[in-house]
């Protein structure tokens, strides 16, 4: 077998300090199979004792060629792949993709579908933050948080299963609306969840927020100023932790977010602890949004009536020839979008998730690019962890909240 | 307020650099620029018009067309004015070069590495131009349209050496 190590050293030579060449500092490989890196992430660390001097992330272990693969699938087939990028925020990815298609096709989404989308995406945000909270606390040696987080997440997955038949990879949102209407138990289940959740959130606060060990390990760790965060293209809780109240839901509302009353929480210090507080408060705000969306959940159609893009209801197929033709066209060749391109961002739990979608007028995407928050935030990792101890590194990785499937696509 | 700011920025860029509005992009408002102007445009956008945030950097391949073969898309956002704007840069030929904007937006670093890795767009003046997603000895640039989807022989332990011999290890020979 070839020896790739020697070449890597030559390649990485300009990334480490002069002292590494003299042997004063140690190069340490961390990962790719390390439990605290939240996926298959390899880090090359240059260490002076325990202090990190340089950190070189090496990504791509989870590269699945989704962007390339989408170019060979029809529009509606390609949507299935968007679930698989960020597997903790599947409905959010669907939403971003559907919004881009709807903008290209100038397709209107009925208010009921928009409200259901908002409810599910906010539930997903809570579920994503629960996984983040559990693993982040586990990294910092608070074992029980992991179990509590996954317990609550289970009820969110049940709600998703109720709607779509799938716990994680739902593909429930379709261009023009939803796959099917929400079941009658949906409202009861969501109401039960939002009644229960704020109390649970208080328990988490009691477990961690004033916990001296947790505070010692998170405060003044991984600091980043607002200017640096913006310059590094950071978004989401990483940016908000530094005090910039940038949230796409507020700045450029989509899917009817302008109707809901919620606050964008921000931190002041930009350290791991502030990012933790921001995410905790975001979960609380998500509950508020779900409450409002449920209270005024409108009746009406759950998907658009534009038959060029949206299949007709099953009942119509028996009586209308036109419906049969549309159904046949949609199931054999799919729909074609007019020539054009669009870049549309949404606020995923991790930050700004943007879809650049280009159509050449055919029934397949000409190009889809996902601007994924994990990819951009991982870039900031070397800046965050410089000068900290190796033990703090796992806390910093946890605090930027990456999913490697989202990063490598 | 913000719409006015956007109009002002678009007009200033059109006047100063002679840019055309792109008909392809439906959102955000987009201008087309030549590759040699992009660094100056970024500088003006950030310093004069407050577009302090590079939100998107990607490319599209139009193979088999040669002129332009690629389009590179820069997406900007201004936190203070809450507006978005994009620049499209057409690139000709199979082996195009583009100057880095890493000095203006540090966040462009990995995006530009991705451009090199996936499209083979050479980034001049980049501090660390290595492949980012594909393995370092990979051949070809997967997101180009003339790169086939599939037909890659899987490399297992029993046939590792055999396939490895067929690969061109330019970097190994250098080192």
Q: Domain containing B127: what range?
A: 2-145
Q: Does B160 reside within a domain? A: no
Q: Does A379 lie at the interface with B, CB-CB under 8 angstroms?
A: yes
Q: Does B159 reside within a domain? A: no
CB of A148 within 8 A of CB of A142?
A: no
Residue A1, pLDDT above cutoff 50: no
In angstroms, the Cα distances linking B137 to A4, A16, A81 are 9, 21, 27
In angstroms, the Cα distances linking A311 to A24, A293, A316, A343, B8 are 66, 26, 10, 26, 43
What is the pLDDT, as a whole number, of residue B65?
80
Tell me the per-residue pLDDT of A18-41, one tens digit each, with 9 for 90 and over: 777 777 788 888 878 776 667 788
Say which residues have a Cβ less than 8 Å from residue A18's Cβ, sequence separation at least 6.
none
What is the pLDDT, as a whole number, of residue B168?
54
Residue B125, pLDDT above cutoff 70: yes
Between residues B165 and A378, the one the model is more confident about: A378
ipTM score here? 0.85
How many residues comprise chain A? 409
Q: Does A104 lie at the interface with B, CB-CB under 8 angstroms?
A: yes
Map tokens 């908002």 to a residue. Answer: A118
The distance of B108 to chain A (nearest Cα, Å) reads 8
- B107 to A376: CB separation less than 8 angstroms, yes or no: yes
Best of B55, B65, B146, B167 to mutate (most A CBs within 10 Å, chain A): B55
Give the pair of three-digit tokens for residue A317. Answer: 């197929």
Q: Does A235 reside within a domain? A: yes
What is the pLDDT, as a whole number, of residue B174?
46
Most confidently predicted of A116-125, A142-151, A210-219, B31-40: A116-125
* Candidate from B84, B134, B164 with C-beta closest to A60: B134
Q: Please identify among residues 13-52 of chain A the ones whose CB lies closer than 8 Å to any CB of chain B.
A: 14-15
Average pLDDT over residues B38-65: 88
What is the pLDDT, as a whole number, of residue B1?
53
Q: Does B98 reside within a domain? A: yes
Q: Does A103 lie at the interface with B, CB-CB under 8 angstroms?
A: yes
Q: Does B172 reside within a domain? A: no
Phi/psi at B72 (nearest 5 deg)?
-105, 135
Residue A8, pLDDT above cutoff 80: no
Q: Does A30 reside within a domain? A: no
Q: Does B29 reside within a domain? A: yes
Average pLDDT, rounded, for chain A: 87
To 5 degrees, how large is the angle CA B122–CA B128–CA B131? 65
Which residues in chain B touch residue A71, judged by CB atoms under 8 angstroms apart? 149
* Candidate from A68, A354, A358 with C-beta closest to B142: A68
Q: Does A234 lie at the interface with B, CB-CB under 8 angstroms?
A: yes
Return the minimum-mean-pLDDT range out of A2-6, A211-215, A333-337: A2-6
**Is residue A105 helix, strand or coil?**
helix
Q: Does A143 reside within a domain? A: yes
Task: State pTM to two decimals.
Answer: 0.89
Q: Does B57 reside within a domain? A: yes
* Candidate from B27, B109, B131 with C-beta closest to A343: B27
CA distance B147 to A31: 31
Which residues in chain B touch residue A379, judged by CB atoms under 8 angstroms apart? 107, 109-110
Tell me the per-residue pLDDT of B91-108, one tens digit each, with 9 for 90 and over: 988 888 889 998 888 888
The distance of B92 to chain A (nearest Cα, Å) reads 18
CATH number of the domain to which A244 belongs: 1.10.645.10
* Candidate from B79, B134, B147 with C-beta closest to A244: B79
Q: Does A104 reside within a domain? A: yes
**Minimal Cα distance from B167: which residue of A?**
A2
Tell me the per-residue pLDDT of A350-387, one tens digit each, with 9 for 90 and over: 989 999 999 988 889 999 999 999 999 988 888 888 88
Please provide the DSSP assignment of B111-147 as one string: HHHHHHHHH--EEET-S----SSS-TT--S-TTSTTS
The distance of A18 to chain B (nearest Cα, Å) reads 17
Tell me the per-residue pLDDT of A223-280, one tens digit each, with 9 for 90 and over: 888 888 998 889 989 999 998 888 899 888 988 898 999 999 998 988 899 999 999 9
Percent of chain A with pLDDT over 70: 96
Q: For residue A129, which of A409, A312, A408, A399 has the smallest C-alpha distance?
A: A399
Ranges of beta strands (E only) in chain B are: 20-21, 25-27, 30-32, 53-61, 70-78, 83-91, 97-99, 122-124
Q: Domain containing A191: what range?
A: 66-304+336-371
**Is residue B71 helix, strand or coil?**
strand
pLDDT-based confidence at residue A93 (cuts at 50, 70, 90): very high
Residue B13, pLDDT above cutoff 90: no
Between residues B64 and A204, the one the model is more confident about: A204
Domain count, chain B: 1
Average pLDDT over residues B156-173: 67
The distance of A233 to chain B (nearest Cα, Å) reads 5
Cis bond upstream, residue B68 (ω within 30): yes
What is the pLDDT, as a whole number, of residue B9?
84
Say which residues have a Cβ less than 8 Å from residue A369's Cβ, sequence separation at least 6.
A67, A355, A356, B56, B58
CATH number of the domain to which B103 belongs: 3.30.460.80
What is the pLDDT, as a whole number, of residue A129?
92
Domain count, chain A: 1
Tell me the per-residue pLDDT of A315-337, one tens digit each, with 9 for 90 and over: 888 899 999 999 998 889 888 89
Q: β-strand B20-21 against A367-371: which pairing, if any?
A: unpaired
Q: How many CB pairs under 8 A join A and B?
A: 117
What is the pLDDT, as a whole number, of residue A120?
92
Q: Does B118 reside within a domain? A: yes
Q: β-strand B20-21 against B25-27: which pairing, if any?
A: unpaired
Q: Does A42 reside within a domain? A: no
Q: Does B173 reside within a domain? A: no
CA distance A364 to A72: 7
């Amino acid at each position: 077998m070839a020896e790739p190590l020697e070449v890597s050293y030559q390649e990485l030579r300009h990334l480490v300090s002069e002292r590494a060449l003299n042997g004063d500092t140690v190069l340490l490989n961390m990962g790719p199979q390390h439990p605290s890196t939240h996926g298959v992430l390899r880090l090359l660390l240059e260490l002076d004792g325990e202090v990190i001097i340089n950190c070189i992330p090496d990504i791509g272990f989870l590269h699945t060629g989704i962007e390339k693969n989408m170019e060979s699938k029809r529009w509606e087939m390609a949507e299935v792949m968007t679930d698989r990028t960020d597997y903790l925020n599947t409905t959010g990815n669907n939403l971003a993709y559907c919004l881009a298609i709807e903008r290209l096709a100038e397709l209107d989404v009925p208010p009921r579908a928009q409200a259901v989308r908002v409810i599910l995406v906010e539930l997903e945000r809570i579920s994503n933050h629960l996984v983040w909270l559990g693993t982040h606390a586990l990294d910092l040696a608070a074992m029980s948080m992991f179990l509590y987080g996954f317990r609550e997440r289970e009820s969110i997955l049940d709600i998703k299963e109720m709607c779509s038949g799938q716990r994680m990879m739902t593909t429930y949102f379709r261009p023009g609306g939803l796959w099917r209407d929400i079941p009658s138990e949906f409202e009861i289940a969501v109401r039960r969840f939002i009644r229960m959740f704020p109390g649970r959130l208080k328990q988490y606060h009691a477990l961690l927020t004033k916990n001296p060990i947790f505070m010692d390990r998170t405060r003044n760790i991984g600091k980043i100023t607002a200017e640096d965060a913006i310059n590094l293209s950071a978004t989401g809780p990483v940016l908000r932790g530094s005090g910039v109240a940038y949230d796409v839901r507020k700045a450029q509302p989509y899917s009817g977010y302008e109707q809901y009353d919620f606050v964008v929480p921000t931190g002041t210090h930009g350290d791991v602890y502030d990012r933790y507080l921001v995410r905790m408060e975001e979960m609380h705000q998500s509950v508020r949004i779900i409450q409002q969306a449920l209270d005024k959940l409108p009746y009406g159609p759950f998907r658009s009536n534009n038959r060029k893009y949206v299949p007709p209801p099953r009942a119509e197929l028996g009586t209308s020839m036109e419906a049969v033709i549309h159904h046949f066209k949609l199931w054999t060749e799919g729909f074609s979008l007019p020539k054009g391109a669009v870049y549309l961002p949404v606020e995923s739990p991790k930050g700004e998730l943007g879809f650049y979608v280009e159509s050449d007028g055919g029934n397949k995407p000409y190009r889809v690019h996902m601007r994924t928050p994990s990819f951009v935030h991982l870039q900031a990792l070397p800046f965050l962890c410089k000068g900290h101890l190796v033990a703090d590194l796992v806390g910093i990785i946890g605090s930027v909240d990456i999913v490697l499937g989202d990063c490598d696509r | 307020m913000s719409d006015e700011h956007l109009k002002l920025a678009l007009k200033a860029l059109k006047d100063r650099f002679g840019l055309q509005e792109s008909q392809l992009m439906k959102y955000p408002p987009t201008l087309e620029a030549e590759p040699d102007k992009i660094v100056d445009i970024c500088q003006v956008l950030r310093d004069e018009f407050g577009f302090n945030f590079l939100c998107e950097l990607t490319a599209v391949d139009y193979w088999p067309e040669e002129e332009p073969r690629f389009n590179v898309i820069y997406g900007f956002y201004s936190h203070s004015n809450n507006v978005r704007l994009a620049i499209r840069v057409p690139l000709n030929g199979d082996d195009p070069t583009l100057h880095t904007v890493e000095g203006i937006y540090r966040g462009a670093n990995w995006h530009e590495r991705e451009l090199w890795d996936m499209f083979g767009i050479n980034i001049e003046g980049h501090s660390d131009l290595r492949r980012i997603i594909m393995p370092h000895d990979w051949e070809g640039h997967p997101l180009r349209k003339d790169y086939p989807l599939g037909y890659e022989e899987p490399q297992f332990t029993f046939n590792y050496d055999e396939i490895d011999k067929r690969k061109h290890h330019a970097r190994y020979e250098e080192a």
